[in-house]
Structure 1
Amino acid sequence: MHEVLVGGIMDLEEAIRFVAGRMARRAEEMQDYPTVRLLEAIMSELGCKSYEELIRRLLDNPKEIYGYALSRVKEELTNSFLGMLFFDVFSRFGVGDLAPAYIEALREGDRENLRKIFLKVAEAVKRRRR
């Protein structure tokens, strides 16, 4: 299991709101992309009305979200797809090296490590916006 050290400028609530807002804006711009359609399908199945609600569910019960993604495509494709998705997104903000640990935490249902990684990514995104 990858260990992630946290020492940041944002608390979890601020990070959730910040990332959810960013996701919502990007989803509007990229409506027809497969990643957006998959996230919207997962949100619909879970009854999530916002990206903020989806992120909270992800951080509270990562295996649930992974399971819904898995039910949409085969396991190999899910791992590959999620790996590419998170590596691509994380790399844009200089933290692509965190993607494998994030996928592992997601797959294992490791809430603590998932939250630590999420905070690091949110901090990197916030620094980049300045």
Structure 2
Amino acid sequence: MKLIAFLLGLMASLGAFAESGSVCSNATSVCASYESEADFTSKQEGRFALKLTSHSDEELTLVKVDLWMQMGNHGHGSSPLKVVAVAPNEYDVTKAFFVMKGQWQIRVKYKQAETEETLILPIMIRE
């Protein structure tokens, strides 16, 4: 598992993916990462691979994935994403519409045993 995470990180650093990012929870040691072959824009549908990893290799339950843009004291969402499991803890996400430029978030809500948490992956939409 660590080798896969290392290789994905190396590929991302070498520019193998147009967009990629990851974040880990201090509380549960669960990480969420995404990769996209194309840059995200406000002009077309986005698609990305989403992966959840746990240091315990425990299977996780994906509760919800959505897009969010915080705007002052209110926010702006997007239409529902289409999320398809392709392997344990790995998902193909389509119908990702970032409807305007700016700082967006991929919010990933998961459950591990009795703990439910949301991880936030930041994305800047420039076009």
**What TM-score comes out, normalization by structure 2 length?**
0.31
Larger proportion of helix: 1
Larger proportion of strand: 2
Which structure has more relative contact order (CA 8 Å, sep 6+)? It is 1
